[in-house]
């Protein structure tokens, strides 16, 4: 016991101050002294600290940010001293004192000079992009001592974003389509007109970075070293070649295409021909109708000399025998019709002769000797 007790006391003295020493060596605690950082992960050239994070969740962020840092190191050069601080909830800071608009929550910020990336995992779907942008921003700042130019910095961020999301070819095709129909390439872009700022306050609900197609072109033509040291690279010449390549790939014609003139003439001719054919068809139809009406007016009208007479009852011809007079009928109608004029009658007499017809039904039953009764 005498030997074991001193050993235990020594172990307690050595182990107990470890969290305190880790807290003091943690750059996150220098800015957030009251926060408790209960987890730490080494992710390549980065160090990731978590406050209230589940180990698996923190490891996921650390793996993603570490892979990005390794990619940046291979393309642009090594950088040391970048730390990522991740809160499981909202970040305990005064956002309005930092210049953030009042009434809006600030979920992420990057401090380039400190090499510190602060992220809130309160919005789990946006925290990944927030950390990615922060790592790239801090990397460019540390690599250039705060002199990296803008808007090239945003362009580089967009290029790495497209590579992580595998959208490089999609963005390139979009840029090519935007050149279709132009008469000349885009105007030049002043890639080194300004320089990036130290602090980056950002809402992770939005996208980040520029198009990234120019950075992709520079890396393919001049190598990534031109992006790592942009002031010693001829970005103006590269920009001219890039814009011209987009214009040529789109199939646009310098000065504008004149093919539209031929197309316009052809379309106008077809429309005019269709209108003329419609007018000529209507004109011909109206002319034919007019000729038919004129021909109908020239046909002589024959006077109808038949007189309309009332029906007269004929005695002795049967009780129901009647003669209908004066039914005027047009030429060519069968004159043997029951209502027509008798075939051999003389028109205009008092009573037309009627051809003998069959006896009435009631006469069939009369005695033959009664036929002479009047």
Cβ within 8 Å of residue 194, ≥6 positions away: 149, 150, 151
In a domain, 337, yes or no: no
DSSP labels, 147-171: --EETHHHHHHHHHHHHHHT-HHHH
Residue 339 binned pLDDT confidence (cut-offs 50, 70, 90): low
In a domain, 10, yes or no: no
| CATH code (residue 22) | 1.10.390
In a domain, 310, yes or no: no
Residue 194, Cβ neighbours under 10 Å: how many? 12
Confidence at residue 92, expressed as pLDDT on a 0 to 100 scale = 93
Q: Are 321 and 314 in contact (CB under 8 A)?
A: yes
193-208 pLDDT tens trace: 998 999 999 988 888 9
Residue 16 clears pLDDT 50, i.e. is over it: no
Residue 337 clears pLDDT 80, i.e. is over it: no
Confidence at residue 24, expressed as pLDDT on a 0 to 100 scale = 45
Confidence at residue 133, expressed as pLDDT on a 0 to 100 scale = 96
Residue 152 binned pLDDT confidence (cut-offs 50, 70, 90): very high
326-335 pLDDT tens trace: 444 555 545 5
Confidence at residue 18, expressed as pLDDT on a 0 to 100 scale = 37
- More confident call, 306 vs 123: 123
How far is it, in rounded angstroms, from Cα 187 to Cα 236? Answer: 11
Residue 151 binned pLDDT confidence (cut-offs 50, 70, 90): very high
Output phi, psi for 101, to 5 deg. Answer: -60, 140
In a domain, 342, yes or no: no
Q: Are 89 and 120 in contact (CB under 8 A)?
A: yes
| Residues 114-153: b if buried by 16+ CB within 10 A, e if exposed | bbbbbbbbebeebbbbbbbbbbbbbbbbbbbeeebbbbbb
Range of the domain at 30: 16-250
Confidence at residue 323, expressed as pLDDT on a 0 to 100 scale = 46
In a domain, 352, yes or no: no
- More confident call, 291 vs 163: 163
Confidence at residue 189, expressed as pLDDT on a 0 to 100 scale = 95
In a domain, 121, yes or no: yes
Tally of structural domains, the chain: 1
In a domain, 9, yes or no: no
The pTM assigned to this predicted structure is 0.64
> Strand pairing of 116-120 and 108-111?
antiparallel
In a domain, 193, yes or no: yes
Confidence at residue 7, expressed as pLDDT on a 0 to 100 scale = 47
How far is it, in rounded angstroms, from Cα 197 to Cα 195? Answer: 7
Residue 322 clears pLDDT 90, i.e. is over it: no
């Amino acid at each position: 016991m005498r030997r074991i007790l001193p050993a235990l006391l020594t172990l307690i003295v050595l182990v107990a101050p470890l969290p305190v020493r880790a807290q003091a060596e943690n750059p996150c605690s220098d800015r957030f002294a009251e926060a408790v950082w209960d987890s730490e992960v080494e992710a390549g050239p980065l160090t990731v600290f978590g406050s209230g994070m589940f180990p698996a969740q923190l490891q996921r962020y650390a793996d993603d940010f570490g892979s990005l840092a390794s990619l940046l190191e291979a393309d642009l050069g090594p950088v040391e001293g970048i730390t990522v601080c991740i809160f499981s909830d909202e970040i305990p800071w005064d956002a309005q004192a930092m210049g953030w608009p009042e009434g809006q929550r600030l979920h992420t910020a990057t401090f380039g000079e400190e090499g510190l990336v602060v992220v809130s995992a309160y919005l789990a779907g946006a925290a990944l992009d927030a950390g990615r942008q922060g790592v790239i921003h801090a990397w460019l700042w540390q690599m250039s001592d705060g002199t990296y130019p803008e808007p090239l910095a945003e362009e580089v961020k967009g290029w790495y974003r497209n590579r992580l999301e595998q959208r490089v070819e999609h963005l390139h095709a979009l840029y090519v389509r935007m050149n279709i129909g132009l008469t000349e390439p885009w105007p030049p872009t002043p890639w080194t007109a300004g320089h990036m700022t130290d602090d980056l306050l950002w809402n992770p609900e939005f996208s980040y970075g520029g198009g990234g197609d120019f950075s992709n072109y520079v890396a393919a033509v001049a190598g990534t070293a031109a992006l790592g040291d942009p002031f010693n690279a001829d970005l103006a010449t590269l920009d001219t070649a890039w814009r011209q390549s987009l214009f040529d790939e789109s199939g646009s014609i310098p000065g504008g295409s004149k093919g539209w003139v031929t197309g316009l003439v052809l379309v106008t001719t077809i429309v005019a021909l269709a209108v003329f054919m419609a007018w000529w068809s209507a004109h011909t139809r109206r002319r034919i109708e007019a000729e038919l009406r004129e021909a109908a007016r020239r046909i002589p009208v024959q006077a109808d000399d038949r007189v309309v007479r009332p029906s007269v009852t004929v005695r002795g011809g049967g009780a129901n025998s009647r003669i209908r007079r004066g039914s005027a009928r047009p030429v060519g109608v069968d004159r043997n019709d029951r209502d027509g004029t008798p075939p051999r009658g003389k028109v205009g007499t008092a009573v037309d002769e009627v051809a003998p017809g069959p006896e009435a039904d009631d006469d069939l039953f009369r005695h033959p000797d009664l036929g002479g009764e009047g």
